Amino acid sequence: SQQGEEDPQALSIQEGENATMNCSYKTSINNLQWYRQNSGRGLVHLILIRSNEREKHSGRLRVTLDTSKKSSSLLITASRAADTASYFCATRDKGTYKYIFGTGTRLKVLA
Amino acid sequence: DADVTQTPRNRITKTGKRIMLECSQTKGHDRMYWYRQDPGLGLRLIYYSFDVKDINKGEISDGYSVSRQAQAKFSLSLESAIPNQTALYFCATSDIGQGELANTGELFFGEGSRLTVL
């Protein structure tokens, strides 16, 4: 079964709005990462948050991590049509250092 | 040139055929991974290798085998392909990191190999 589960599975918003995606996971983690995938392409790393961090920013991205609830959220502010993609969370398993991916959120930003 | 290169990018084959997907990287990373992506299931780990002499099974290794020919090369084989192995396959690499960055590195992905088994 998947370590991470993203919510919602799909999200459609207007350009300029904010997009929030959530990720839940099951085990103890070393860190949590978010990746972006344009249709049919390879995944690209967006941001990493360590297990001892609660919030991190990178440009228009804001990530939060709540280890007590085993959940994370990714906020994209002032979205653009070019942000249309699938977004995946990935957790770094503390015991084995494997990366486990969630099922992804498909974001569509309408111009 | 891409840092992580996968070949072939697209392949159509028949049930029972042997297929090899190849991955090479120029990033100098020790760790390499093979993932499979299916719609609605996200990415699932097939095999991973932390160095040339270290090969480990992932979540869904049945029906697959791998070979780590060198630090830069990691191949995935389907000995006898079946239709439910139709998927998009990704190779990825990561660095070990040092000190505070140890074991925290990001994954670098290839562009994927789309395999269709008829």
**CA-CA distance, A15 to B52, in Å (whole number)?**
47
Mean pLDDT value across residues A92-96: 73
Over the stretch A8-62, which tens digit does the pLDDT of each residue have? 889 999 999 999 999 999 888 888 999 999 988 999 999 999 889 999 999 999 9
Q: Does A43 touch chain B (CB under 8 A)?
A: yes
Q: Does B94 touch chain A (CB under 8 A)?
A: yes
Residues of B in contact with A104 (CB under 8 A): 42
**CA-CA distance, B19 to B77, in Å (whole number)?**
6
What pLDDT does residue B61 have? 95
Residues of B in contact with A88 (CB under 8 A): 42-43
Report DSSP state, residue A15.
Answer: T
Over the stretch B88-111, which tens digit does the pLDDT of each residue have? 999 999 987 665 556 567 899 999
For residue B15, the tally of other CB atoms under 10 A from its CB is 11
Amino acid in position B46:
I
What pLDDT does residue B84 have? 95
What pLDDT does residue B102 have? 60
Listing DSSP states for B30-85 in one string gives SEEEEEEEETTTEEEEEEEEEETTEEEE-TT-TT-EEEEEETTEEEEEESS--GGG
Q: Is the pLDDT of residue B39 over 70?
A: yes
Mean per-residue pLDDT over chain A, rounded: 90
Q: Does A94 touch chain B (CB under 8 A)?
A: no
Over the stretch B67-84, which tens digit does the pLDDT of each residue have? 999 999 999 999 999 999
